[in-house]
Amino acid sequence: MAGNFTDEGRVQLADYYFRAATLPTNYYLALITNAVACDNDTNTLGELTQISDGGYTTNGLAVTPATEFDNLTEGSSTASIQITDQQWTATTSIAPAQAVLTDDNVTPASRKVLAYFDVSGTASAGQTYTIVDAQININFDSGQFTDKGMYEILNYCFEGAAAPTQLYVALIRSAVAPAVGINTLSELTQISTATGYSDGGYTLNRDNTDFDSLVDGTTQAELQIKDLVWTASGGNLDSGAGARYAVITGYHVTPGSRSVLAWWDLTTDRNVTDGNTFTLANLEMQFTV
C-alpha cells in the first residue's frame, strides 16, 4: 500500500534534516473514517475523525523509528520507506477509510499529519485489522534532488541514522552535470581552491539561521538558504572555466565522499576576478511532488 506525504509532512522532513528540529521519539499510525478525507492540505490529526472501537488505540499505535520502519530503498528519481505491519483487534465491526502517520505532539489533536494511506477491508468483533506494507514514497523535484539526497532524508528521519554534523554548498564546473543518479562529490569537478574557495565548499550549520526560511506552500515546502559569499583572493575564482552549478552535500571528513543531496543550475559559467565577491542569494529547495 503506497502512501503520500502531506505538505505539512514535507515541511517537517525539511525542518528535521536541514534545521535540526527535534525528531519525534515515536511516530503514530491512526485509523480514520471517511467523514473528512485526509489529503495534501491536511495539517493536524484534529482535522480528521478517528474510528471508534474499543479495540482501537485512540490517537494511533506508536511506530518507533529505526525498529518499526524498514525496507528503505533508493530508487530512480524516488526513495521509499515502509512501516512494519501494525494491527488492532476489533471489539466491534470497523471499516477505516484511511490511515495517517503523525508526529508525537503531547496534545493528540495537534499532532502533525505527515503522511496518509487509503486503506480497505473490515474487521468484525474479535478479528484483527492489519495495516500491511504501508510504504511512503518521496519523489521531490527530480530537477533538483538526487536519489541519494531523498534516501538520506528518509534514513535520518525514520531509520535513526546519525545526523549530519554540518552541510556544505560546493561550486561545480560544467565538466560533469549533476543529476539524480549522482552519489558523491567526487563524481563532480569542483572549481579550483586556494583563491578564496575551500575544498568541499561553504559550511552550513543545521539551524534556522543558515537555513533561514521554511514555508509551507500550496503544493510544496520551500526551504531557503542564507546568502553565501565567496571573495576571490590571490587570483580569479575560478582559475578555470568557472562555476556552472552549486550542490548541497552531507558531512564526511573527506569532501569527495560527501553525499550530494541536491543541486542548482547557475545557467552559465561564473568567474570572479581577484578581490571581488561571488554571492549565491536565496538558494531554494522545493520539496514537491
Give Cβ neighbours of residue 260 (< 8 Å, ≥ 6 apart): 146, 148, 149, 178, 182, 183, 184, 185, 187, 188, 247, 248, 249
Q: What is the pLDDT along the chain (289 residues), one digit of tens a residue?
A: 788 999 999 999 999 999 999 999 999 999 999 999 999 999 999 999 999 988 898 999 999 999 999 999 998 888 999 999 999 999 998 999 999 999 999 999 999 999 999 999 999 999 999 999 999 988 776 569 999 999 999 999 999 999 899 999 999 999 999 999 999 999 999 999 989 999 999 999 999 999 999 998 777 889 999 999 999 999 999 988 899 999 999 999 999 999 999 999 999 999 999 999 999 999 999 887 6
- E strands, the chain, are 2-5, 27-32, 61-63, 69-74, 79-83, 86-89, 98-102, 113-118, 128-131, 134-138, 167-172, 202-204, 213-216, 221-224, 228-231, 243-249, 260-270, 277-280, 284-287
Neighbours of 252 (CB within 10 A): 16
| pLDDT score, position 88 | 93
Partner residues linked to 137 by β-bridges? 80
Query: What DSSP string describes 24-77?
Result: PSSEEEEEE-SSS---TT--BGGGS-B---TTS-TT-EEE-TTTSEEEEEE-SS
| pLDDT score, position 289 | 64
Biggest CA–CA distance in the chain, Å, is 78
